[in-house]
Structure 1
């Protein structure tokens, strides 16, 4: 079975942002997201793979037998937009998207250009709902 690419690393999050993010607004937004997601999750930021900043972790196992660990919530400050990993696409969470603001939806993330385009209160609700869902359905660091 192939090794998961997105695993926790020892790269310093602040060093990553300072070297990877070349836009001042995106840098400011990145530091704001770190502060907010740390508060919402109760976990310090860690690098996952080369570009994802994650908070906490959970263990998953797919029906195929593939398993691994992933951050509870997180983001990546990509060139074109932020990738936010804060949403569990289950029916009872879909209503959050109605009031989120300006975004695009990917398979596993929400893309936003800048934080002022979205409602941070909704992002907080989405993040906490996702953590609760993961806690209920997976082995989760959020149980500690």
Structure 2
């Protein structure tokens, strides 16, 4: 897996990728699968109201140059209260963007990832992050 992050820049993003790899592996109990630059752990099945459906990683991240992208299957809104205590970050509908994990509360991040993962694998969500 080290070779997956060898070309990741800046160095802080590479460091954060190693941290998230260990954290998500511990949370999920699964080995990572890398697909198109996204490091995923486990899968869940989603179905949109439109009828479109598919499979996606139950927990995932991508070390992008601008920021670390952390994918939350149940959407950002499900974690608004916890994220208020995370530290510096931005977000999209289903994605949390962090530029420096060292500036964040990793216990808060762990809790958010655990909750999102458990929600995804329990099939509780119809993927509101993308609806």
Between the two structures, name the one with larger relative contact order (CA 8 Å, sep ≥ 6).
Answer: 2
In 2, the alpha carbon distance for the partners of 1:68 and 1:87 equals 13
In 2, the alpha carbon distance for the partners of 1:23 and 1:93 equals 28
SS class of match (1:57): strand
Q: RMSD value over aligned CA atoms?
A: 2.1
**Alignment CA distance shift 1:64-1:42 (3 Å):** same
Query: Displacement, 1:22?
Result: 3.0
Structure 2: give runs of 5+ residues left out of the alignment. Answer: 127-131
**8 Å Cα contact 2:44-2:123 kept in structure 1:** no
TM norm structure 1: 0.77
Number of positions where the alignment pairs a residue of Structure 1 with one of Structure 2 = 125
Query: Displacement, 1:93?
Result: 3.0
**8 Å Cα contact 1:96-1:126 kept in structure 2:** yes
Which position in structure 2 is the counterpart of 1:137? Answer: 124
**Alignment CA distance shift 1:90-1:103 (3 Å):** closer
Larger of the two Rg values belongs to structure: 1
Which position in structure 2 is the counterpart of 1:114? Answer: 100
Query: Displacement, 1:31?
Result: 1.0
TM norm structure 2: 0.84
SS class of match (1:40): helix
Query: Displacement, 1:107?
Result: 1.9
In 2, the alpha carbon distance for the partners of 1:109 and 1:91 equals 10
Which position in structure 2 is the counterpart of 1:18? Answer: 6
In 2, the alpha carbon distance for the partners of 1:37 and 1:84 equals 11
